[in-house]
Chains A and B, each alone.
Chain A
Amino acid sequence: TQLLEQSPQFLSIQEGENLTVYCNSSSVFSSLQWYRQEPGEGPVLLVTVVTGGEVKKLKRLTFQFGDARKDSSLHITAAQPGDTGLYLCAGAKSDKLIFGTGTRLQVFP
């Protein structure tokens, strides 16, 4: 089973701080998705990156796909309490997604 390791596993920060979440694998993926899961809900897609080196921005969130398509990062600028949740990366392998281990983010006001 291919593994996608995320780091850090937990992150607790104050509102206004910046943070970066990493998603690493030894496998190459065709594309990579990032999901956010809030308590009591299923994960919801934030973004899909497809091309090696691709950068996508979603308001204060910046997603990057590694040049070799083995890793990805999520950077949040000026975090807000509404960013609190579990962040999951997921690599695409033809007929299924391989999910990462998750990063639980808590942003305090």
Chain B
Amino acid sequence: DVKVTQSSRYLVKRTGEKVFLECVQDMDHENMFWYRQDPGLGLRLIYFSYDVKMKEKGDIPEGYSVSREKKERFSLILESASTNQTSMYLCASSWGFLAGYNEQFFGPGTRLTVL
């Protein structure tokens, strides 16, 4: 059974803290994605990666960075958390060369609150 796991379901951090969100997939997928989900805005793509050590900016990369040192793991980093980064963060993975055509498998999400 395919699985995408995220390190935390809930996280509370203070403004200015460095925050790491971890995502691991066990499907040997090439592509991995980080989204944030806010009411009325759907899912917005932060960063994605189609190979180890590769990364591409999504639609809202400002204030975030990512790391993909191993194929199965994709980390999202908030260098200095701010209150406007309070959100639900979803990680996803997919196989295939053109990621937009293939099913994305999602983790359960991390609800981050920045105080």
Contacts and interface: CB of A to CB of B under 8 A. Distances in A.
Bin chain A's interface residue count: 20 to 34
B100 A101 contact: no
Contacts, number: 66
B104 interface: yes
Interface string B3-45: 0100000000000000000000000000001010000111111
Nearest to B9: A40
Contacts of B108: 40-42
B92 A101 contact: no
Contacts of A100: 42
A66 to B, nearest CB: 18
Contacts of B4: 42
A93 B108 CA distance: 24
Contacts of B76: none
Ranked nearest first, the 6 interchain pairs of A and B with the lowest CB-CB distance are: A42-B106, A92-B100, A99-B43, A99-B42, A45-B103, A101-B42
Interface of A: 1, 4, 6, 9, 30-31, 33, 40-45, 48, 88, 90, 92-97, 99-102
19 contacts: A6-B42, A30-B100, A31-B100, A33-B103, A40-B108, A40-B109, A42-B92, A42-B105, A42-B106, A42-B107, A43-B43, A43-B90, A43-B106, A93-B100, A94-B98, A95-B50, A96-B48, A97-B104, A102-B40
